[in-house]
Amino acid sequence: MKRYLPFVIIAAVAVLAAGAGAMLYRVKERAITGGGVTRPSTNETGAEPLHVRGQPGAPVTLEEFGDFQCPSCATEAEVISKLEQDYGPRLRVVWRNFPLAMHAHALEAALAAEAAGLQGHFWEMHDLLYKNQAVWSTASDVRPFFNMYARSLRLDVERFAKDSTSDEVKARVVSDGERGVSRGVKNTPTLFINDREVRTAFSPERLHQAIEAALAEATPKAFGADRGPPSAKVQPGGERK
């Protein structure tokens, strides 16, 4: 009998029979390879991120695999928000769903965020879910809370509720989860900075160090190996795009 990875992403997929509902499944275990650096291929599942905050040409990309019911992820969301303020156009943030089986409402929350995303409000729902995590995560039925958040964002709530159970939304969550498993993700939050996994504590200081190191690596590539930076003067605090 094949072994399955504990505490791995769960996702709902529609069954073939109409009206039969959905089923949950776990993605098979895959081994981690390499020395802590994962570089995805161009044909890897979910290679193109759906949820990105920041400039396309930013020299540093922070990619997070997260679970909306994970307390550590809620804490990390505040840290990352501050990093976005600190680094401005130099930092690009990518979000990937990785709801864990150990969290009863994590999958529903991921589906709610993706449903809001279909109406152009993924990041707003992302922020609300983390801000109010202590409230909805202890409820027996989270749907009234998620509908309330959708209403506060002025979404079409009827469409939101329908989209939350749609095959399209389920497929988005599954795609993120498969990509995470293929990169060795087991727990949340898991962070990658320019494709290198951050394996130590995610303190603001540690993440600043990792981003600064990535910026130092990216600068020579941006200007070319055989020449220095452009001669145009940059004002203090200014950024080149």
Residue 1 falls inside a structural domain: no
For residue 78, give its domain range.
10-27+51-221
Interval 172-187: pLDDT, tens: 999 999 999 999 999 9
pLDDT higher at 227 or 210: 210
Residue 16 falls inside a structural domain: yes
Residue 143 falls inside a structural domain: yes
Locate all alpha helices (DSSP H) within 118-166, ordered by sequence. Answer: 122-131, 133-136, 143-152, 157-163
- How many domains, the chain? 1
Residue 41 falls inside a structural domain: no
Contact between 151 and 121 under an 8 Å Cβ cutoff? The reply is: no
Q: CA–CA separation, 15 vs 68, rounded Å?
A: 25
Residue 230 falls inside a structural domain: no
Helix (H, G, I), strand (E, B) or coil at 231: coil
**Model confidence at 200, in pLDDT bands (50, 70, 90)?**
confident
- Rounded to the nearest angstrom, the gap between the alpha carbon of residue 192 and the centroid of all alpha carbons in its chain is 10
pLDDT above 70 for 10: no
Contact between 26 and 155 under an 8 Å Cβ cutoff? The reply is: no
Q: Strands of 91-97's sheet, edge to edge?
A: 51-53, 91-97, 60-66, 190-193, 196-197
Residue 176 falls inside a structural domain: yes
What integer pLDDT is reported at residue 221 of this predicted model?
54
Residue 229 falls inside a structural domain: no
Looking at the chain, how many residues does it have?
A: 241
Residue 106 falls inside a structural domain: yes
Identify the CATH number of the domain in which residue 89 sits. Answer: 3.40.30.10
**Model confidence at 21, in pLDDT bands (50, 70, 90)?**
very low
Confirm whether pTM is higher than 0.85.
no
Contact between 136 and 105 under an 8 Å Cβ cutoff? The reply is: yes
